[in-house]
């Protein structure tokens, strides 16, 4: 294994192939990598610590101190050498890291769509690990869907870092619902009626019609549109039928219904009229200032919105909704997934991990840090030092400044994020986490996520602008359905047909 990387050093020149973290599933006793040998007295003697180097991303301004690191090493019986790479410089350093072979035993990869990363994975630079996962109690719990989504051409070149699979939903002013005598909506029609009432019935009681139902931003993915599209049955980016035919989401009936819904909101004045040019910060500030009562986005945004409202809208009470459908039928419940829950890979370069024995030692370590004990360390710190915990495993951070210095930098190192019993004591955060975990049962995955289309890689962003512009024009009533379909045809002729053909071929190669 690589011994040349100094502990907690920030990589400055050589570059790093890194990224963020996450994971999914727990259990198992940590520290299983340590074997013991009997001494003369017949007592178990601790084995030598396994030395592991880890090239990882740094989202904070400085690396963590050794306080939490020492506890992780103690639990896993390892000696860890972290090489931290600042998030802002990770992408530009990929080619340098590959070319100079300046890697580590574990390399955190999240830029899986980067051509250099994909080429390195396909070229066999990293170990293929699919046959090993079932040997470890925490790794075996990684779902087959997750393994498939994290695979490149059907091969898994690292441990999937599993984030929330589907985190979006609707956040509504509960105090406004109560004031107007409205129930929490469960259908898109009911949601429309709430939006109308919030616009027309003075929910803040100031005597002026100065509120809207929705407040949205210029983002068809992470704003309201894609989540609303889920409620109308829109696929998650792409759809593939039983014959292997691939179609983009914007050719689906659900996509058109979502555009029609947004058009109705816009024409009725039930959404901020400048949503197509509104930034996320302005959207959140507007909600916090009481300009609107419906926010569609990540459910965990609720706590941030409430914090922003302090001193401005102190009466704000929020309810989060994740079970809206367009039909009222539970069977039609669905929510899109941005990356199928894959936050990246923990990958193991063959240049550093020389043989299967070393690989299994490192896999044991990854298995062990998926335990709840290590997750708690990486998320909250040390009980009594950084936080307190009650009988329900609800955590309250007691020293925020110390937590930020010693714990927060480890957030990108967690190979599993959702599903632990230990949780934040804040009720909104607890409820958001519960609803996000519940979303997994209804998540619509992107079947093309792990597949490759050279045309999409090189031209996909530019081609998407055709569809984005056409979608906004349709919602703002500047073109009709025929005009929208004409733009779709333009997308196809400009490279879309090539993308579809390439994805169909890639899908067939993996699935037969």
What is 328-341 written as a DSSP string? S-GGG--EE-SSTT
Q: Are residues 173 and 157 in the same domain?
A: no
Chain-centroid distance, C-alpha 199: 33
Residues of the chain above pLDDT 70, percent: 91
Looking at the DSSP bridge assignments, the partners of residue 246 are 240
Each residue's pLDDT tens digit, 425-479: 999 999 999 999 999 999 999 999 999 999 998 999 999 999 999 999 999 999 9
The pLDDT mean for the chain works out to: 90
- pLDDT (0 to 100) of residue 1: 54
Looking at the structure, do residues 150 and 218 belong to the same domain, yes or no? no
Residues 269 and 204 in one domain: yes
- DSSP assignment of 430-489, as one string? HHHHHHHHHHGGGEE--TTTT---HHHHHHHHHHHHHHHHHHHHHHTTSS-HHHHHHHHH
pTM value is 0.86
For residues 250 and 182, membership in a common domain is answered with yes
Model pLDDT for residues 368-403, shown as the tens digit of each residue: 999 999 999 999 999 999 999 999 999 999 999 999
Do residues 150 and 180 both lie within one domain? Answer: no
Q: Which residue has the higher pLDDT, 368 or 4?
A: 368
Looking at the fold, whether 226 and 328 belong to one and the same domain comes out as yes
Structure confidence at residue 85 (pLDDT): 84
Please check whether residue 285 is in contact with residue 304, taking contact to mean a CB–CB distance below 8 angstroms: no
Last residue of a domain, one of 336, 361, 379: 336
Does the pLDDT at position 275 exceed 60?
Answer: yes
Distance of CA 17 to the CA centre of its chain: 19
Mean pLDDT value across residues 313-328: 97
What whole-number distance in Å separates Cα of residue 204 and Cα of residue 211?
A: 8
Q: For residues 127-132, give the mean pLDDT.
A: 97
Q: How many domains does the chain have?
A: 3
- pLDDT, one tens digit per residue, over 190-203 is 999 999 999 999 99
Residue 95: predicted pLDDT: 67
Return the number of other C-beta atoms located less than 10 Å from residue 116's C-beta: 16
pLDDT at 30: 43
Q: What is the 3-state secondary structure (H, E, C) of 350-373?
A: CCCCCCHHHHHHHHHHHHHHCCHH
Q: Are residues 285 and 231 in the same domain?
A: yes
Here the tokens at position 258 are 């979502």
Residues ≥6 apart with Cβ < 8 Å to 416: 22, 23, 24, 25, 26, 138, 162, 370, 375
pLDDT for residue 499 is more than 60: yes
User: What is the reported pLDDT for 38?
Assistant: 40
Whether residues 148 and 32 fall in one domain:
yes
Give the model's confidence band at 46: pLDDT under 50 very low, under 70 low, under 90 confident, else very high. low
Q: Is the pLDDT of residue 52 over 60?
A: yes
- Could you tell me the two tokens for 357? 């024995």
Determine the straight-line distance between the first and last CA of the chain, rounded to whole angstroms: 38
Give a yes or no: residue 311 inside a domain.
Answer: yes
- Residue range 116-126, pLDDT digits in tens: 888 889 999 99
* DSSP string over 166-208: --EEEEEEHHHHHHHT-PPP-BHHHHHHHHHHHHHS-TT-SSS
Reported residue count of the chain is 512
Q: Is 276 in the same domain as 371?
A: no
147 three-state secondary structure: helix
Q: Which of 321, 336, 351 is the last residue of a domain?
A: 336
* Residue 5 pLDDT greater than 60, yes or no: no
Residue 140 phi/psi, 5-degree rounding, is: -65, -25
What torsion do the CA atoms of 113, 119, 122, 127 make, to the nearest 10 degrees?
A: -90
Angle at the Cα of 342 from the Cα atoms of 339 and 343, rounded to 5 degrees: 105
C-alpha distances in Å from residue 155, one per residue of 98, 111, 123, 139, 445: 20, 17, 12, 16, 19
pLDDT, average across residues 94-121: 83
Are 23 and 370 in contact, with CB atoms under 8 Å apart? yes
CB 80 within 8 A of CB 7: yes
Mean pLDDT of 338-348: 93
Domain that holds residue 176: 168-336
Tell me if 299 is assigned to some domain.
yes
Helix, strand, or coil here: 289? coil
Q: Measured in whole angstroms, how far is the alpha carbon of residue 276 from the centre of its chain?
A: 24
What pLDDT was estimated at residue 94?
65
- Inform me whether the pLDDT recorded for 510 exceeds 70: yes
Last residue of a domain, one of 300, 321, 336: 336
**What was the pLDDT predicted at 338?**
83
Number of C-beta neighbours around residue 57 at 10 A = 24
Q: What is the CATH number of the domain that holds 94?
A: 3.40.190.10
- Per-residue confidence (pLDDT) for residue 12, from 0 to 100: 38
Categorise residue 437: left if φ over 0, alpha if ψ from -120 to 50, beta otherwise: alpha
């Amino acid at each position: 294994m690589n011994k040349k990387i100094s502990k907690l050093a920030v990589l400055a020149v050589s570059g790093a192939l890194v990224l963020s973290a996450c994971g999914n599933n727990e259990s198992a006793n940590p520290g299983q990598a340590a074997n013991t040998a009997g001494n003369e007295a017949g007592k178990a003697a601790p084995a030598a610590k396994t030395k592991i180097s880890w090239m990882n991303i740094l989202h904070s301004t400085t690396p963590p101190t050794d306080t939490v690191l020492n506890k992780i090493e103690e639990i896993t019986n390892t000696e860890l050498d972290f090489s931290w790479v600042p998030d802002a410089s990770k992408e530009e350093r990929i080619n340098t890291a590959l070319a100079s072979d300046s890697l580590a035993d574990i390399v955190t990869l999240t830029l899986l769509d980067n051509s250099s990363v994909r080429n390195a994975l396909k070229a066999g630079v990293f170990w293929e690990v699919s046959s090993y996962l079932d040997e470890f109690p925490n790794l075996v719990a990684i779902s087959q869907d997750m393994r498939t989504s994290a695979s490149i051409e059907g091969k898994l070149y690292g441990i999937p870092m599993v984030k929330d699979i589907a985190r979006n939903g609707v956040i509504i002013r509960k105090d406004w619902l109560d004031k107007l005598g409205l129930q929490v909506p469960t259908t898109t029609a009911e949601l429309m009626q709430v939006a109308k009432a919030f616009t027309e019935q003075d929910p803040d009681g100031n005597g002026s019609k100065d509120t809207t139902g929705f407040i949205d931003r210029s983002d068809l993915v992470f704003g309201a549109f894609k989540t609303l599209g889920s409620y109308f049955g829109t696929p998650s980016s792409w759809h593939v039928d039983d014959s292997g035919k691939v179609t983009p989401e914007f050719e689906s009936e659900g996509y058109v219904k979502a555009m029609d819904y947004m058009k109705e909101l816009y024409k009725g004045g039930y959404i901020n009229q400048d949503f197509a040019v509104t930034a996320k910060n302005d959207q959140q500030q507007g909600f916090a200032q009481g300009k609107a009562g419906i926010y569609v986005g990540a459910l965990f945004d609720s706590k941030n919105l409430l914090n922003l409202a302090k001193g401005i809208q102190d009466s704000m009470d929020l309810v989060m909704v994740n079970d809206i459908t367009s039909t009222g039928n539970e069977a039609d419940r669905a929510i899109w997934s941005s990356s199928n829950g894959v936050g990246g890979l923990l990958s193991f370069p063959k240049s550093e991990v020389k043989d299967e024995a070393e690989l299994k030692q490192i896999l044991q370590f990854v298995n062990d840090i998926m335990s709840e004990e290590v997750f708690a360390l990486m998320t909250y710190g040390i009980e009594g030092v950084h936080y307190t915990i009650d009988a329900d495993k609800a955590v309250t951070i007691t020293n925020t400044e110390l937590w930020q210095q010693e714990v927060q930098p480890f957030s990108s190192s967690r190979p599993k994020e959702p599903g632990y019993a230990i949780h934040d004591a804040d009720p909104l955060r607890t409820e958001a986490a519960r609803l996000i975990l519940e979303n997994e049962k209804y998540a619509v995955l992107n079947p093309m996520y792990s597949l490759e289309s050279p045309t999409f890689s090189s031209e996909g962003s530019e081609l998407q602008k055709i569809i984005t512009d056409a979608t906004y024009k349709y919602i703002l009533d500047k073109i009709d359905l025929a005009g929208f379909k004409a733009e779709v045809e333009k997308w196809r002729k400009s490279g879309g047909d090539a993308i579809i053909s390439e994805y169909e071929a890639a899908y067939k190669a993996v699935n037969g």
